[in-house]
Amino acid sequence: EAQVTQNPRYLITVTGKKLTVTCSQNMNHEYMSWYRQDPGLGLRQIYYSMNVEVTDKGDVPEGYKVSRKEKRNFPLILESPSPNQTSLYFCASSLLGYPPGELFFGEGSRLTVL
């Protein structure tokens, strides 16, 4: 089954404790991206990647890191989480090209930082 898998789905952590949210897709998509969703603010892009070893900042990259060592994986790293990073996070992937391929989203990871 074609899917984007995120882990963990739910996480409660404390300020400053490094954490990683994993994202994996099995569709051989070149493009992967991370979004955060907050009430009233919609979906805001954090980072994206066009291919292996190619990443770029989105609209709200501060406090986050990513890596793309393999085509299928795109982990999101919070080196020192803060309460303002409490949010619902979505990973998404698509084929590249024009028009842009349909974005396939993971199920989301709800993060709470105390």
Partner 1 sequence: GENVEQHPSTLSVQEGDSAVIKCTYSDSASNYFPWYKQELGKRPQLIIDIRSNVGEKKDQRIAVTLNKTAKHFSLHITETQPEDSAVYFCAASRRGSQGNLIFGKGTKLSVKP
Residues 60-89 contacting partner 1, CB under 8 A? none
Closest separation in Å from C-beta 36 to partner 1? 11
Phi and psi based region of residue 59 (left: phi greater than 0; alpha: psi -120 to 50; beta: remaining): alpha
Closest separation in Å from C-beta 82 to partner 1? 23
Q: Does residue 53 bind partner 1 (CB under 8 A)?
A: no
Burial profile 53-75: b = 16 or more Cβ within 10 angstroms, e = fewer:
eebeebebbeebebbbeeebbbb
Residues 4-43 contacting partner 1, CB under 8 A? 31, 33, 35, 40-43
Considering CB under 8 A, how many residues would be counted as binding partner 1? 27
Among 85, 94, 109, 113, binds partner 1 (CB under 8 A): 94
**61 near 47, Cβ under 8 Å?**
yes
